[in-house]
A and B are shown apart, each in its own frame.
Chain A
């Protein structure tokens, strides 16, 4: 038997491990890319904040951003300035308050600013599950009712200009 086989197998394993170092095993890509937005309806957050449903999104012609957030989610605070920036640049953002209480949501938006055109409350998290959400925050880019991209975790500075904006723009076209 060729005595080099153990060495060869080990080399194969090492290469796999080396590649593995650059991968992130807990980043699960979305199953829903290029699928239509699932049907859903959201509760109201407050009387003066417009809620929305899947139908509202379906009527949007331009690209929109759908952001799952919560007042109890620390990274959401970090991400918030970037959402405000997106609003300033003219993008429409739909916010889903995941498993949060109305008064906490309104307080969050009052204190941090409201980047959202519409905000709905997903009180029991079912809408999140329909979207395959498993952590906060998560952001979707949607065009013509089709999900084009999912961003897991907060949008951070380094990803904002280099990744997120270009994807937004290409989805727009």
Chain B
């Protein structure tokens, strides 16, 4: 019954989104107040009903209602409750329902927080948001209904991939979707601005918090996914340039560019057309990502069950939404008046370079991801574009980006003195270089690229601190007071850049100075890696809620002193039957020790295959991205971004 209610609620939400997308917009164009006032209630209503729908599906999972096809396919009575809940969004249908839910949530948020926006603009934005939602509801109801029943129903479900039964992975999709879908708000704002024919500093100020919010979620979601891969997949890799990873990374790159570009619109009233275009492109990448994962167009570890029929629907939807908005851009962008001018060397141009590098990066990742498809379509050749290409291409673009990031915040608006700037920063450059050489010496050398990344990371770290120190006039009296009076947006920037610097340093350590050791070990054997002594003590058989496992016990010591005991497991899940490894990780500031147990090498089970990894500075990567998210949140809390804040006389 509840499931049917959920289904019905979905239909209601669909109808409301249609209403929200049409009548108020007409009202805005013809200045009919009554029609416009439909907008916010429709948005709240839509959210209310899709929430009912979503939680109805979740209810079906919690009670293991196997008469619902989706539940039967993706759940099992033995599954722990947390994963039954997360299975709600684990399948294709469930995840699209989740998309629609988050979309409606954002719509309701815009309806509420945007109360003080000019009425016609507010209504236009909500209308665009609603029409996107309408497409998703149609997709759900017509091709991917999560509430389909099956009769006779199975007594037991088909389970879910045991790899996905992990707390990290349970939270990874919600965070990502809050990010992906959050970009719909900036999209709606952008299209709304095109429809009204006006972009000004106020618009940028309204757009920034939503972009920041989406960006924070995306960063967090991507990092969580990476971190999960790191500890779950058994060899410590954390990024594979898999098409689905790229599908989430591309909107992130564009959103980062958008964040910076919006600053220029706000401060200098220029770069408007470009910012609007970026806002459209960011969300387009979100939609494109959704398409790629579900259509069977590309192979990926992450892909949902492929279904070309659904693929056609999404593609048509994509064409309408993205094509339509890009066409609107082409026709209306000229109406956006150009504003402030800036010199070739200025803060604006630094931000333009930032945007250029990030956009090119996104395009290159797109090209590399789609290239196998393009080649297959045009010549029939099957080709793989893997990590070697992406690492090189992305690395190539990151080098100038990191350099410019160090200079940008210290550069004046409108016109800056490049020579003076470099002069002030030359000590920082030398310090970074010196530190790199010292570290290289301590670490006994390494590859040249290791030095490059380490140096760039240190450069960014030091230059960000330098800029902050100059801004608060650190060594002059009263600096403490100045520190606390800094606007949150500036603090956010410093944290954001600092976080990236730390992450880059971490990446250089873990990519270039890692050590791997594989061996067959007997009980009592010891291995030496990265200064640790790893002694294989024993194994134990254990039984979990839906798996059995071999647990190995390793004693870790350093310089003769016992440090800890690590207990990696080799698990075998039951439905569906699948072996997985649970690595045991010892994380310290200087490195991660990563221990994996494999198969028994002999019948007596006294010899085992063991893999050990030593990964320097691994934790710096996770800390760095966490600091980036923190920076975003700090910026978000800036009072100037409150939607209700007076808009200083702008209409």
Separation of A16 and B298 alpha carbons in the complex (Å): 12
* Given A3-B329, A7-B330, also A17-B323 (CB < 8 A): no
Task: Let me know if A20 and B376 touch, CB within 8 A.
Answer: yes
Q: Report Cα–Cα, A22/B327, bound state, in Å.
A: 27
Residue in B273, B277, B323, B376 whose beta carbon sits within 8 Å of that of A14 in the complex: B323
Q: Which residues of B contact A10 (CB under 8 A)?
A: 284, 322-323, 326
Beta-carbon contact of B297 and A26 below 8 Å:
no
- Please tell me which one of the listed residues A14, A19, A20, A23 contacts residue B319 in the complex, with CB atoms under 8 A apart: A14
Residues of B within 8 A of A4 (CB): 330
Q: Which residues of B contact A17 (CB under 8 A)?
A: 291, 295, 297, 315, 370, 373
Chain A residues near B168 (CB-CB < 8 A): none
| Contact status B296-A21, CB under 8 Å | yes
Query: Is A16 a contact of B370 with CB atoms below 8 Å?
Result: yes
Looking at the assembled complex, report how far the CB atom of B190 sits from the nearest CB atom of chain A, in whole angstroms: 13
Question: Is A25 close to B, CB under 8 A?
Answer: yes
Would you call B376 and A25 a contact (CB within 8 A)? Answer: yes
Determine whether the beta carbon of B295 is less than 8 Å from that of A7: no
Given contacts A6-B329, A6-B330, A16-B377, contact A25 B315 (CB under 8 A): no
B323 partner residues in chain A, CB cutoff 8 A? 7, 10-11, 14
Contacts of B437 in A (CB 8 A): none
Give every chain A residue within 8 A of B376 (Cβ-Cβ).
20, 23, 25
Contact: B312 with A23, CB < 8 Å? no
| Bound Cα distance A118, B377 (Å) | 39
Give the complex CA separation of A127 and B401 in angstroms.
50
Please count the residue pairs between chain A and chain B whose beta carbons lie under 8 angstroms apart in the complex: 73
Quick check: B299 and A25 within 8 Å, CB to CB? yes
Alpha-carbon separation in the docked complex, A10 to B295 (Å): 18
Q: Is the CB of B318 within 8 A of A14?
A: yes
Interface residues in chain B, defined as those with a beta carbon under 8 Å from any beta carbon in chain A: 273, 277, 280-281, 284, 291, 295-299, 308, 311-312, 315, 318-319, 322-323, 326-327, 329-331, 333-334, 366, 370, 372-374, 376-377, 380, 382
- When the two chains form their complex, are residues A14 and B326 in contact, meaning their CB atoms are under 8 A apart? no
CB pair B382 A29 closer than 8 Å: yes
Q: Is A28 an interface residue (CB 8 A)?
A: yes
- In Å, the complex CA distance between A64 and B326 comes to 56
Known contacts A6-B329, A14-B323; A22 and B308 CB within 8 A of each other: yes
For B373, give its contact among A16, A26, A28, A29 (CB under 8 Å): A16
Assess the A26–B299 pair: CB atoms within 8 A.
Answer: yes
Question: Contact partner of A23 among B280, B315, B373, CB < 8 A?
Answer: B373
Interface of B is mostly: helix
In the complex, are the beta carbons of B315 and A6 less than 8 A apart? Answer: no
- Contact of B308 with A6 in the complex, beta carbons under 8 Å: no
Q: Are B308 and A7 in contact (CB under 8 A)?
A: no
Chain B nearest CB from A52 CB (Å) reads 30
C-alpha gap A7/B331 in the complex (Å): 11
B370 touches A13 (CB 8 A): yes
Contact (Cβ within 8 A) A23 B377: yes
* Residue from the list A6, A20, A25, A28 in contact with B326, Cβ < 8 A: A6
A20 to B327, CA, bound (A): 24
Contacts of A19 in B (CB 8 A): 377
Measured in the bound complex, the distance between the Cα atoms of B323 and A4 in whole Å is 11
Q: Are A21 and B377 closer than 8 Å at their CB atoms?
A: no
Chain A residues, Cβ within 8 Å of B319: 14
Contact yes or no, A21 B329, CB < 8 A = no
In the complex, residue of chain B having the shortest beta-carbon distance to the beta carbon of A24: B296
Contact A21:B370 (CB < 8 A) given known A6-B277, A6-B329, A7-B327: no
Residues of chain B contacted by A29 (CB below 8 angstroms):
380, 382
Ranked 5 nearest A-B pairs via Cβ: A7-B326, A20-B297, A19-B377, A3-B330, A4-B330
Q: How far is the CB of B369 from chain A (nearest CB, A)?
A: 11
Instruction: Contacts A3-B333, A4-B330 given; indicate if A28 touches B382 (C-beta within 8 A).
Output: yes
The answer to whether A21 and B318 have CB atoms under 8 Å apart is no
Among residues of B, the one whose C-beta sits closest to the C-beta of A23 is B376
| Interfacial chain B residues near A18, Cβ < 8 Å | 312, 315
Q: Which residues of A contact B377 (CB under 8 A)?
A: 16, 19-20, 23
Which of B280, B326, B374 touches A16 (beta carbons < 8 Å)?
B374
Determine the residue in chain A with the shortest Cβ distance to B292.
A17
Query: In the complex, what distance in Å separates the CA atom of A25 from the CA atom of B369?
Result: 13
In whole angstroms, how far apart are the Cα atoms of A14 and B370 in the complex?
A: 11
Q: How far is the CA of A29 from the CA of B331 in the complex (A)?
A: 45
Residue numbers in A under 8 Å from B298 (CB-CB): 20, 25
Neighbouring B residues of A22 by C-beta, 8 Å: 308
Given A6-B329, A7-B327, A16-B374, A21 contacting B297 (CB threshold 8 A): yes
Chain B residues in 8 Å Cβ range of A14: 315, 318-319, 323
Question: What is the bound-complex CA distance between A28 and B372, given in angstroms?
Answer: 12
Instruction: Report the bound CA distance from A20 to B296 in whole Å.
Output: 8
A25→B318 contact, CB < 8 A: no
CB distance from B439 to the nearest CB of A (A): 43
Near B by CB (< 8 A), chain A positions 69-128 give: none
- Chain A residues 1 to 46 lying within 8 A of chain B, measured CB to CB, are 3-4, 6-7, 10-11, 13-14, 16-26, 28-29
Chain A residue at smallest Cβ distance from B309: A21
Out of B281, B291, B297, B299, which one reaches A6, CB within 8 Å? B281
What 20 new A-B contacts, CB under 8 Å, besides A20-B297, A29-B380?
Answer: A3-B329, A3-B331, A3-B333, A4-B330, A6-B277, A6-B281, A7-B330, A10-B326, A13-B370, A14-B318, A14-B323, A16-B374, A19-B377, A20-B373, A21-B297, A21-B315, A23-B297, A25-B376, A26-B299, A28-B382
Could you tell me if A21 and B311 are in contact, using CB atoms closer than 8 angstroms?
yes
CA distance A16 to B380 in the complex (A): 13
Give the chain B neighbours of A24 by CB distance below 8 A: 296
Q: Which of B296, B315, B334, B374 contacts A3 (CB 8 A)?
A: B334
A22 to chain B, nearest CB (A): 7
The residues of B that contact A11 with a CB separation of less than 8 Å are: 323
